[in-house]
Amino acid sequence: MHPCFRAVAALTLCLCLCPAAFAADVIKLAVAVPTSGDFTAYGQPAVNAARAVAEGVNAAGGILGMQVTVIALDDQCKPEMAVNAANRAVSDKVHAVIGHICSGATKAALPIYMEANLPVLSSASTSPDLTQSGVYPNFFRTIAPGDDQSKAGVDLAVHRLGLKKIAIIHDKGDYGKSHADFAKEFVEQAKAELVLFEGITVGAVDYSAIIQKMRSAGAQAVIFGGYHPEGSKLVQQMHRRRLNIPFIGPDSIMSPEFIELAGKDITNIYATSGKDLSSLPAYRKAADQHRRLYGDKIGLFYMEAYAGAEALLHAMAKSGSLDGTKIMQAMRADYVDTPLGRIKFDAKGDAEGVGYGIYTVKDGRYVPLPE
């Protein structure tokens, strides 16, 4: 084979494969996430991250002698639209997929990807059964599973804040209910008192009834499972009714949009999200690139998606192939330096060493909670 060396500085690799060896003219990386509707704040950062990684890789010569192109597919976090996005990705003959954000959308789309032998990497879907069941060997994620996240929230309430009467509210969806169910288990294990466990109606305007139930039950903290539109309304209405107890949510509330909707002066807000890794050189480099391309405000799950794009492209380069099986084998075998640290994926598809930190709102933005 004639040697065609392409230096890929972003992935610190030197490749010796000719573009003629591959049927594709470009490497197609699909990003199937919400880019319209209520959940755009979760999805657009993933598209931006993939495009940023592709920019760096392409400037360094590409992967396997080819340039990387990013194809954005809108799923609005809805299972039926996720199925459409997955079918579009397969028909477009993409080589890998970043997505989906919402666990329900991910579950709906995964069988389609699995039949096509496409590697799928989510920066945000935390449902534990996505990896624990072993049903989806083509699925990977750069975020820790949801049971770890639920435990972090309960540990904060019970052990760090010293609160014993806990209310758990969820939005009845796959993601929110799963987060709530695991939180319930950990509250019981911690010998705290679960004073309320109840679902709310998504899209409702008035949550005064559930707020009154929390007050009557003597709740000292509320753990919320769901997304930022409902979470922000709950917080705003709780404070309006002077129920100023800690509100602890998953990373789905950790967005500028949540703070804007809830009110910038509101306190007692906590979120569990990926650990603060802003001191890592790879994180700082990605943040500098973000400032150049998109501005200062880094969106939710941006770094997780950035790490995911790097991991997928690194696996293609290391395996010397665009075959799904070989890419997946390399994902599990080889480490790659990312903004999340040096990662590879275990047999289940979870990124090794990825965990959760605690954040709180201060001066209108989320900051790490001091230890």
Q: Please state whether the peptide bond connecting residue 100 to the residue before it is cis, i.e. omega within 30 degrees of 0.
A: yes
Residue 326 and residue 319 in contact, taking contact as beta carbons nearer than 8 Å: yes
Q: What per-residue confidence (pLDDT) applies to 22? A: 52
| pLDDT attached to residue 28 | 98
Going by pLDDT thresholds of 50, 70 and 90, the confidence category of residue 11 is very low
Residue 214 CB contacts under 8 Å (≥ 6 apart), including other chains: 167, 169, 195, 196, 222, 238, 243, 245
The boundaries of the domain holding residue 242 are 147-274+357-368
Per-residue pLDDT of 256-281, as tens digits, reads: 889 999 987 788 999 999 889 999 99
* Cα separation, 223 vs 228, whole angstroms: 13
The pTM assigned to this predicted structure is: 0.81
What pLDDT digit, counting tens, does each position of 234-262 carry? Answer: 999 999 999 999 999 999 999 888 999 99
Mean pLDDT along residues 63-92? 98
21 pLDDT tier (thresholds 50, 70, 90): very low
Strands (E), the chain: 5-8, 13-16, 26-33, 67-74, 96-99, 120-122, 139-141, 165-170, 193-199, 221-225, 247-249, 269-274, 336-338, 341-343, 356-362, 365-368
Indicate if 140 and 287 belong to the same structural domain: yes
- According to DSSP, the β-strands at 356-362 and 365-368 are antiparallel
pLDDT for res 371: 75
Q: Residue 351 has what DSSP assignment?
A: B
Task: Assess whether 361 and 331 both reside in one domain.
Answer: no
Write down the pLDDT at residue 267: 87
When divided into structural domains, the chain yields a total of 2
Neighbours of 347 (CB within 10 A): 9
pLDDT tens per residue, range 80-104: 999 999 999 999 999 999 999 999 9
**How many residues are recorded in the chain?**
371
Query: Is 195 found in the same domain as 119?
Result: no
Residues 332 and 294 in one domain: yes
**Same-domain check for residues 171 and 229:** yes
Residues 182 and 312 in one domain: no
Structure tokens that stand for 198 in this block: 């109840």
- CATH classification of the domain holding 155: 3.40.50.2300
Within this chain, do residues 131 and 160 fall inside the same structural domain, yes or no?
no
Confidence of residue 132 (pLDDT cuts 50, 70, 90): confident
- Residues 362 and 226 both lie in one domain: yes
- Distance, in Å, from the CA atom of 148 to the CA atom of 324, rounded to the nearest integer, reads 29
- Return the structure tokens found at 354: 């990825």
Whether residue 191 sits in one domain with residue 92 = no
